[in-house]
Each structure stands twice: as C-alpha cells, then as structure tokens.
Amino acid sequence: MTGIDVVSFVAFFLVVVGISLWKSLREGASRDESDYFLGGRSLSWPIIGISIVAANISSEQMVGMAGSGAAEQGLAVAAWQLMGSVFICLVAITLLPRFLQAGIYTMPEFLEYRYNTLARSIMAIVTVAIYVGVLLTAVLYTGATALEVLLGVPMSTGVWIIGAIGTLYAATGGLKAIAYADLIQGSALLIGGLIVFVLGLSASGGWADFSAANSDKLKLLLFKGHPGYDQLPWYTVFTGMWIVMIYYCGLNQFIVQRNLAAKTLRDGQLGMLFAGALWLLIPFAIVMPGIMAGNLYADELAGKSDAAYPTLIKNLVGPGLRGFIFAAIAGAIISTLASLLNSASTIASIDIFQRLIRPQASDKTVVRLGRILTVTFVVMGCFTAPLLTDGVFTFIQQFQGFIWPGVVAAFLGAFLLPRAPAAAGSVALLLGPVMYAILQILNKEGLFADVLSERVLHLHFLTQVLVCFAIIFATMWIMTFLRPNQTPKKLPVREDIELKTEPIVRVCAAMVVTSVVVMFLIFR
C-alpha cells in the first residue's frame, strides 16, 4: 500500500474502535448481563439492520462466496443471501415476537422453557463447538487470506492481528460496542463493495460485455449440465435451503442476539427487514466482482479462487480509496469475529456456566467470565485457522449440517407440536448430528470421506439436511402421539413490551420478498 492507503486504513480503525468503545462504555455497556450481552435491550432498527449485515457479510462472503462466484457456481452462490432475505422477513413476523415475549438472552434458554434443562445444555454445547471449531476458525482463515493478498501479511501473522483487534472491543464493550462498530463498518462495507462492482464492470467493458461473456455464470438457478450444478443444484434452493435459513435468520445466536437486544418489537422487526433489504445488494457488491476477478485475473487465481475479491481490489482500486476499502473489508472480518466471540461467550457464560455450574453466580462474575472466554476462544481459533484450505465457503456450509436439522426441528416442534413431551427436544438435538453423520458417511463427504471404500448415496448435502429434518420431526410427532403432555407448557411473558406487529412491517416484508422474486426472474 502507499502512504495514503496506510493513513486511511489506520484512521478508519481508530475511528471505529474509538467511537464504539466510547459510546458503549459511556452508556454503561458492561455493568450487568443485560448491558454486556444484549446492549441493555436498547438497540434501534437502523443499528440492528446494519449490524446484522456487518456481522453476516464478512470474509465468509468476501473471500468464500466471491471465490465460489469466480469458480464454477457463479451468481448462483448468491441464492444463499437472497433466500436469507426472504426468510429473515418471515422470521421477523412469526418467531421474533415469541422470543421477545419470553425475554430470553439466548436461544438455548428458550429450549429450557419449552422442553427441559437437558435440551438447553445440548444446544448450548453444540452451538459453542460449532462457533469456535468451525465459524470462528473459518473467519480467521478467510480474513487472513484477504490480508495476505492485499497487504502481503503472512497467514500465521494475519490471524493474530485480526483476532487481537476483534477481541479488543468484543471483550471490553460487549454487544453495544460491536453494534456501534457495525454501524460504521457495515456502511463502509456496502459502499466499498458497490465501488468495486463499478470499477470491475468498467474493466470488464461495461454490463453488455460482462453479461455476454458470463451468460452461464449469471444464473441464480443451476440445472443439470452446468459446471456448478453438483455444488448447488436448483432444487436444493427450494428444498433443504429453507431449513438453513430458518436456523440462520431465526435461531442462530450470532444473528438473533441483535434482535433480542431491540428496545421494541417494531425496532427488532424493522431491523431484520432492513438487513434483508441490504442483502439484496450482495450479488452486486460481492458475487459479481468475484466473477469479474475470475475473468480478468484467471492466471493469478489458478488454484486459489478464494483470493478473487482481494485480487480485484489490489489491481483496480487506486491509492487512498484502496486503503479505505481495505479497511472496510478488514472491518467486516473483525466485526463478524467480534460477533461470533460475543455470541459464543454469551452462551458459554449463561447457558453452561451460570445454568449448570454456578447458578448463584453474580452478574459481575458472569460478565468477567464472558471476557475471559472471549480471549480463550480467539486464541484457540488463531492456532487452528492456518490449517484450513481453499473452498472454505463449502466447508462452512457442510459442517453446519450437524446442527441445522435438529435445532430447527426442536424449535418448530415447540410451536407446531404444543403437546410434545420434554424429551422430544433433547431427542431432536441429539438425533440431528447422528443422522447427518450417517448420511455424510454414506455420501463420503466432509470428515467422513475415507470411512467407506465406495459411495453408497448420491445426495447433495442440503438434501441430506432435509432428510435429517424429516426423520427428526417425524420422530418428535410419534413421541407426541404416544406420550403427549397433558397441557401445553407455558412460556415466560414479558409485560414491558408491545407484541403487536404493525402494518408497516408487513408492507416492508412484502416489498423485500417481491424484490427477491424479481431478481430470480431476471437472472433465471
């Protein structure tokens, strides 16, 4: 980078970290559990929306998703984000009011109210394992990959730099510090991404030349015969992907923690819809630039498609602006890392330590433990991140299959099977990883590629998720039929929050969903 790039890069981070810590600590963001873990339940809808985007759109997308776009999947990889826009609207109207009414801190906590302590403990342990072992590690790896391409920072050094900055305000100011940092970083990220799109489009000869040269890659649904069909067949978008989206948008502590911190239901719902609307920009701000990089710099990306996005920036963006976009990317990476750390430490501190180990622990003790765990988790991730390899987006999706079907079945069963016995929740959560592991073994995928000598099944991993969900939910129904609760279990009720969905929320949700349908029709 040039001197002006370095200045703009450093200045960006000083502003982000300084404002977030000042704002959160000035308002008492670390006094008790509600302040530290849920920002005092005081977040407004613009902050919630942009914070969700900043937490979600990180190196997983800017490195992994753009890399998949540059490779064989093309624009189809954006179907994940577009379907997310649809389901975050549905979750905002259906599930969020129920969660806010219960006044919960974490998603595992809800399972205890509906089922029992065992269900809460299982989900807490599995969630922390996935966050720390898969997501946090992947974010550090892809973030370090971006720094390696953009700045020449070695992978082993990059993971520690990212980990240190993310830990700084995640451990110090809690969720409120993260949310205010996200407000700046999320805005910079989207602006920077659209600038990169415009520059890449210009270098590609304009939209007409770009679309003509990439007609096969500018499709949101892939049919048999397309090079990327095996990675994301068209039917999986409408089958197994809905399970993923219900989990990600409505049950994933990493995302939902911001909604639980809303000061009103209206703020929580509009914040989610705002995030869904901003996600509509992702095909243009991230995936298409990845495709452009694959065209313009094919030789540089040979065998390393995950470097597509940072390579495009390095070659096309000029001094000064380059430093700003570098900072926006690094900020998005660190924002996601901080969010993961905060969510993992929240669940570990409240659902595991305070609920199972020391029920009488004070707020001060729990918050202190949350800070200690934040540092511990990032150190673990920094040691394991350099072990990952190219194609990290697929890695992240496949490994989360161990948690998706069981968790979604448990939560949907809580509402759709009101007389389901307490044991049904625990059975769903335990059966999910077991069933998915069996299907992965039979398909020779993921961790189990070498268990069998020959592949027995030919099911896409999203179809495996759907099959798992169907078996689990059928099991819960049978348990309910054989030994139903005599009366539905009562959940806690917060009296200090209005739980009526306003008409403006439904109108905005309809607009976002309609926009997604239009995009699928345009890029069919």
Query: If we measure between CA atoms, which residue out of 287, 284, 283, 257 comes closest to residue 272?
Result: 257
CA separation, residue 195 to residues 148, 188, 198, 289 (Å): 22, 10, 5, 10
Angle at 311 between CA 310 and CA 317, to 5 degrees: 80
- The answer to whether the beta carbons of residues 316 and 93 sit under 8 Å apart is no
Give residue 383's pLDDT: 83
How buried is residue 336: exposed, middle or buried, by Cβ count under 10 Å (0-12/13-18/19+)?
buried
- The answer to whether the beta carbons of residues 59 and 336 sit under 8 Å apart is yes
The number of angstroms, rounded, from the C-alpha of 249 to the middle of its chain's C-alpha atoms is 8
Query: If we measure between CA atoms, which residue out of 432, 225, 390 comes closest to residue 302?
Result: 390
Query: If we measure between CA atoms, which residue out of 330, 311, 397, 326 comes closest to residue 70?
Result: 311
Q: State the Cα–Cα distance between residues 59 and 188, nearest whole angstrom.
A: 15
Give residue 40's pLDDT: 53
- Plot region of 128 (φ>0 → left; ψ -120 to 50 → alpha; else → beta): alpha
Structure token digits, residue 494: 């917060």
The number of angstroms, rounded, from the C-alpha of 349 to the middle of its chain's C-alpha atoms is 21
Query: If we measure between CA atoms, which residue out of 92, 42, 30 comes closest to residue 499?
Result: 92
* 524 residues of the chain, pLDDT tens digit each: 567 767 777 777 677 666 666 665 555 544 544 455 455 566 788 888 887 887 777 666 666 677 777 777 888 888 988 999 999 999 999 988 888 888 787 888 889 889 999 998 998 888 888 888 877 887 788 777 767 766 777 877 888 887 887 776 666 555 566 666 667 777 777 888 888 889 988 888 889 888 888 888 889 998 988 888 888 899 999 888 999 999 988 888 777 877 777 888 888 899 999 999 999 998 898 888 888 888 888 777 766 766 777 788 878 877 777 777 777 777 777 777 777 777 788 788 878 888 778 877 776 787 778 778 878 888 888 887 777 665 555 667 777 888 899 999 999 999 999 999 999 999 999 999 999 999 999 988 777 877 888 888 888 889 999 999 999 999 999 999 999 988 888 877 777 777 788 999 999 999 999 999 999 999 98
Token pair 């069996």 in the structure block, residue: 438
- The answer to whether the beta carbons of residues 147 and 307 sit under 8 Å apart is no
Give residue 29's pLDDT: 47
Partners of residue 233 on adjacent β-strands: 222
Give residue 192's pLDDT: 81
